Chain A
Amino acid sequence: MAVVAAEAPGLVPARRRRPRRLELRVGIGLIAAVILACVVIPIVNTTDPNALVAAPLQPPSAQHPFGTDTVGRDVFIRVFTAGRLDLALAALGVIVPLVTGTVIGTVIGASRSRTLDVVAMRFTDGLIAFPFMIVVLLIVLILGPEAQIPPLPPGAASVLAATWLVNWTTYARLARARTHVLRQEDFIAATGLLGYSRPRIVVRHLLPSVSPTTATFAVADTLGIVALIAALPFLGAGIQPPTPEWGSIMYEGRGVLSQAWWISLSTVGVVLVLGTGVMMVVDSLISNTRRARLT
């Protein structure tokens, strides 16, 4: 008996066409603008971010677009020099937990061992429940505020150590939950019927389907890490002065906010642009992931 007719190849229903990604493009554009500014401005403008260039508390002008701070340093060059450090720390603080947490969570989710699942998840729950700021402060106490990982400045080591120690747990939880959902899918059931080894199922089938979920969270988490790094100077921890860093610039401007609003608000403005871009990208990725699952 012959097959009746060939189907139209490549016929894709309208509901499965890619949606417009204006939000994603604008978000990526905003993030790229901040990153580009942080890379290019310190190259074009060779002013030392710690140099005293004018009188203190000068308002924004053509010469100093973000004004000067309490000791006469150029806020413009300090904000964009600080951005390099904050973004580098955020990337390092997210990538390592993203990879370790995704792998650990997927392996636990794929395991049929109830004991492993219970023990591992209670351990991660304990770490998640422990206040993150306390962990950072404890590590600062243990390592000391001057602890350094070259070429990063003093204080960065404790921030990174804390995020690496704690942050993977959130990714592990997400990955485990997604893996449990995937295990009910027919294509994972088929891998079992075909006798595929567990490492193959994890590496070739589960991880590629789990990683979009954790990667989407990682984009939002990057902003959280930026906020954390910026918050630490308010607790006397984090990056040590005079290294320019967004949190320390805002902290310095806090005391003179009524007279020199430009010190804190210029930094807040840059972080807001970055945050808006990140959230637009996250929203777009989440809605795309939902659409992909529905089709």
Chain B
Amino acid sequence: MKHIISDQDLVEVNPMEPEGSINRTVPAAGGVLVASDVTFAYGSGPAVVKNVSLAVPEGAAIGIVGESGSGKSTLASLLVGMLTPTTGTITVGGRPWSSVRRRDPLRLAVQMVFQNPYTALNPRMTALRTVSEVYEACSGAAKAEASEHAREMLQRVGLTGLAIDKRPGEMSGGQCQRVGIARALAANPSVIVADEPTSALDVSVQAQILNLLSDLRQEQGIGLVLISHDLNVVSYLTDSAIVMRHGEVVEQGATDGLLNSPAHPYTRSLIDSVL
């Protein structure tokens, strides 16, 4: 096992990972992904995320809810290291994102499932190629071996047969989202950040994708940060949640508690708007 940080801080996770896949190690103590007092502003504009703190323990599922423009997607980009906080820190495996270089194995510990399943995939690559490339690039697998792993992974997310040789333009939104999930899983992450993963999909397909995320989380013990404006989705998949408004966390706690007895008027208004 390739260790990312010192041996005494590490535990091995994901006993189900296939042989030859990418190794995953995360710190035993504290959250896998921890945001501490994070503030972010685009350029010299106003802060769109203000003093947000959260920790994603191993295998936990956390929901982030709020209306459009509340800073959810920006927070998602910060959590996966696509954006750098203006102030505060985000650590993965105990190390700040700023110290994790592109080729650092820890880079793979947090992956993302994007909102738009079509734009999330290279339009010129088949589903199989999209996923097999992860094994080639990240674990140095030979092409044939990478294809074999990719087939297994695509099968695991429910894509088999002719569908795996199709490009995004030839697939349905649900199929594309499954490929996006398979690509994220191929990196063997400790945490998946899913930014509105069902909002671009038909209602009938939404349930399939949610079931898939739920199954994979339970099977593989992967942490999940689910960004959504849909309270039903968050209540279905997560154990705890934070409610954001204007870039700030207005309320947080166990998901059931938040939905059944909200303390903040904004949370109540969100729940009322659904009902």
How big is chain B's contact interface, by range?
35 or more
A193/B107 contact (C-beta < 8 A), A9-B175, A187-B120, A292-B123 known: yes
B158 nearest CB neighbor, chain A only: A3
B121 nearest CB neighbor, chain A only: A187
Chain B residues near A292: list those with CB within 8 A: 123, 169
- B29 interface hit (Cβ, 8 Å): no
User: At the interface with chain B, which of A32-40, A102-110, A200-208, A225-233?
Assistant: A200-208
- A242 interface hit (Cβ, 8 Å): no
User: At the interface with chain A, which of B57-65, B210-218, B254-262?
Assistant: B210-218
A190/B114 contact (C-beta < 8 A), A5-B208, A196-B137 known: yes
Chain B residues near A4: list those with CB within 8 A: 207-208, 211
The listed residue (A1, A187, A195, A204) touching B119 by CB distance below 8 A is A187
Chain B residues near A12: list those with CB within 8 A: 169-170, 172
- Is there an interface contact between B107 and A1, defined as CB atoms closer than 8 Å? no
- Is there an interface contact between B172 and A186, defined as CB atoms closer than 8 Å? no
B122 smallest CB distance to A (angstroms): 5
How many angstroms from the CA of A137 to the CA of B81 in the assembled complex?
53
- B116 interface hit (Cβ, 8 Å): yes
Number of interface residues of A (CB under 8 A): 32
B212 nearest CB neighbor, chain A only: A3
- Is there an interface contact between B211 and A3, defined as CB atoms closer than 8 Å? yes
Q: Which of B166-184 contact A (CB under 8 A)?
A: 166, 169-172, 174-175, 180, 183
A7/B124 contact (C-beta < 8 A), A193-B80, A195-B107 known: no
- Is there an interface contact between B104 and A195, defined as CB atoms closer than 8 Å? yes
Q: Mark A199-229, 1 if CB is under 8 A from B, else 0.
A: 0100011001100000000000000000000
The listed residue (B82, B122, B171, B218) touching A192 by CB distance below 8 A is B82
| Besides A1-B215, A7-B174, 16 new A-B residue pairs in contact (Cβ under 8 A), listed by A number | A1-B211, A6-B158, A10-B171, A12-B172, A186-B115, A187-B122, A187-B123, A189-B112, A190-B180, A192-B82, A193-B80, A193-B111, A194-B183, A195-B105, A195-B107, A197-B137
